[in-house]
Amino acid sequence: MISIRQVRTKKEYKEFVKFPFQLYKDSKYWVPPIISQELKTFDQKENPVFNDADAYFFLAYKGNKIVGRVAAIINWLEVNKQNEKKMRFGWFDFIDDLEVSKALLDKVAEIGEENNLEYLEGPVGFSNLDKVGVLTEGYDVIGTMITWYNHPYYVTHLEKHNYRPEKEWIESHFPFSNIDPEVFSKADALIRKRYQVHVKDFTKTKEVMPYADEMFDLFNKSYASLSSFVEITDIQKEYFKKKFIGFINPEYIKYVFDKDDKMIAFAIVMPSFSKALQEINGKLFPFGFLKLLKAKKESKDVIFYLIGILPEYQNKGITAVIFSEYYKTFAAKGIQNCIRTPELANNHAIQKIWKHFDPKVIKRRKTYRKELN
């Protein structure tokens, strides 16, 4: 007999966060989240997304044992401003038992129907800067701190419960040695002269922060045309600055400006924390924080997290300026591997950016959809 209980207490929230630690304890590829950070993500006092979203968290029990979890999310900006009557579900993990996954999804559907929504889609988070998609290929590749990992049976469960693929993301990888600076160095000089653009370099996080709001505004403009995009609000900017900027080497953030010092493009690269996160197993103290700092300084693998270019500057070679800057930074730091975060498979514009580096697709992930009655 499967019972579903809503998470309400601090103890239950901690059990919700820690369930995957048991489910993936023997996996070489699962990357644990930082427990304290996950708890803050679900805290209505900490995460400003709750100003525009409702979320309900559930645990599945078989007897007294936790066997699954799910978050049911309604993003009201998406529902009301975009008229997208979507019931989101995320943080979806479960043992290989169809009764368990069905009971969890049925609970999400129940909330969707109560709120007159039209369909379910997941796994997704609250917004576009959260993790997304169930892994469909690449189970034998180590994850990252900004993606979910799952067992192969997750896909089977969704299909058996009559969910169909909605969107697909790809993740790829290329060695730094694939980058030929000659490919973009000449274009870099030409583009800088033609459009009178320049790049600001940083060595300290405090130098980056004054431009962060402008960067998020640019992010909203450059990604607005993509399906499922929900803009970042002003109050969310402060939250994301605190959540992400500290994990990024300031040298890995590139801002491109026009002649009037208006930001026209940005790129953010993160060092890979995967191995360090596996070692600390969700705990920052007593030594986890030091391991993360070491990875931040010494990791030879980097993750291309975000690239944004104003629509009027897209297809004008601005990426040559960005990659020219990154080549110098990566060469100085001895970077060996470049990893791309999930990108929509139908986002052909972003994929053209990487064609000169001969990237290899290492993972695919999808969201799944089901209509509500």
Rg (CA), the chain: 21
Question: What are the phi and psi torsion angles at 287 (to 5°)?
Answer: -120, -5
Question: So what's the pLDDT on residue 228?
Answer: 65
Give the alpha-carbon dihedral of 72, 130, 92, 44, to 10 degrees: -40
* SS3 at position 75: strand
The encoded tokens of residue 328 equal 């110098």
Tell whether pTM > 0.85.
yes
Q: In terms of DSSP bridges, do strands 337-340 and 301-309 run parallel, antiparallel, or are they unpaired?
A: parallel
Position 332, amino acid: A
Question: So what's the pLDDT on residue 40?
Answer: 94
What is the rounded CA–CA span in Å between residue 173 and residue 171? 7
Question: So what's the pLDDT on residue 225?
Answer: 75
3.10.180.10, 3.40.630.30, 3.30.450.20, 3.10.20.30: which CATH number matches 2-168? 3.40.630.30
Question: What are the phi and psi torsion angles at 148 (to 5°)?
Answer: -85, 150
**Closest alpha carbon to 251 in 174, 330, 357, 167:** 330
Looking at domain 174-369, its CATH architecture is: 3-Layer(aba) Sandwich (3.40)
Position 118, amino acid: E
Q: In terms of DSSP bridges, do strands 164-175 and 134-137 run parallel, antiparallel, or are they unpaired?
A: unpaired
What is the rounded CA–CA span in Å between residue 49 and residue 307? 23
The pLDDT tens digits along the chain (373 residues) read 899 999 999 999 999 999 999 999 999 999 999 999 999 999 999 999 999 999 999 999 999 999 999 999 999 999 998 899 999 999 999 999 999 999 999 999 999 999 999 999 999 999 877 999 999 999 999 999 999 999 999 999 999 999 999 999 999 999 999 988 888 888 999 999 999 999 998 999 999 999 999 999 999 998 887 766 788 888 888 888 887 788 899 999 999 999 999 999 999 999 999 999 999 999 999 899 999 999 999 999 999 998 999 999 988 999 999 999 999 999 999 999 999 999 999 888 778 888 889 999 999 999 999 999 7
Provide CATH 3.40.630.30 ranges for the chain.
2-168, 174-369
What is the rounded CA–CA span in Å between residue 208 and residue 143? 27
Question: So what's the pLDDT on residue 233?
Answer: 86
